[in-house]
């Protein structure tokens, strides 16, 4: 989250001109979603993912609570995109299963969501591969290439 704050405050790469579109962030293995919460505060579209249903409920609650006034912000400071409503979406995603399935782009809702938002401009991962095995690393790399 410090990286996002620093980039945004200094006019970093996703803030250049700010005229074309709102940036979209994909967070894999979001857990409670601190990086997504930080990115959403900067007006970015968020697609946050995890596998556990209880974690997904808490993730969604955290994202909603960390919006201004407990509702999604509808604009950021750039006049060019102020009418484009910010999207904050939570999806279940098991990247090992998704990486192994050749049809995953067609059956996983997260991929159609990302397509509708023009793809992911930034992919966030934080503490997601602790104790991971070689197959888990390979699955993550396969998924990132989809």
pLDDT in tens, 25-53: 999 999 999 999 988 888 889 999 999 99
Residue-wise pLDDT for 62-112, tens only, equals 998 887 543 443 334 444 455 578 889 999 998 888 888 888 777 889 999
pLDDT at 73: 35
Quick one: residue 31, left, alpha or beta (phi over 0 = left, psi -120 to 50 = alpha)? left
Specify the pLDDT at position 72. 40
Q: pLDDT value at position 36? A: 93
Q: How confident is the model at residue 24 (pLDDT cuts 50, 70, 90)?
A: very high
Percent of the chain with pLDDT over 70: 71
Please name the residue ranges forming H helices in the chain. 2-9, 34-41, 53-65, 95-100, 104-107, 109-116, 134-144
Q: What is the sign of the dihedral through the CA atoms of 57, 32, 105 and 84?
A: positive
Return d(Cα 139, Cα 96) in angstroms, integer: 5
Answer whether 101's CB lies under 8 Å from 107's CB: yes
Do 18 and 80 form a contact (C-beta atoms < 8 A)? yes
User: Does residue 135 carry a pLDDT above 60?
Assistant: yes
0.85 surpassed by pTM: no
Averaged pLDDT score across all residues of the chain: 77
Joined together, the tokens standing for residue 118 give 């023009």
Report which of 133, 58, 44 is spatially closest to residue 88, judged by C-alpha positions.
44
* Per-residue pLDDT at 1 exceeds 70: no
């Amino acid at each position: 989250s410090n990286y996002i704050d620093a980039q945004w405050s200094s006019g970093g790469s996703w803030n250049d001109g700010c005229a074309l579109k709102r940036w979209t962030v994909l967070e894999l293995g979001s857990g409670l979603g601190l990086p997504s919460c930080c990115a959403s505060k900067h007006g970015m579209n968020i697609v946050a993912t995890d596998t556990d249903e209880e974690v997904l409920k808490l993730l969604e609650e955290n994202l909603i609570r960390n919006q201004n006034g407990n509702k999604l912000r509808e604009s950021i400071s750039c006049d060019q995109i102020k009418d484009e409503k910010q999207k904050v979406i939570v999806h279940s995603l098991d990247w090992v299963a998704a990486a192994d399935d050749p049809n995953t782009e067609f059956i996983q809702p997260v991929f159609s969501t990302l397509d509708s938002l023009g793809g992911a401009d930034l992919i966030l991962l934080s503490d997601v591969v602790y104790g991971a095995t070689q197959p888990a690393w390979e699955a993550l790399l396969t998924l990132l290439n989809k």
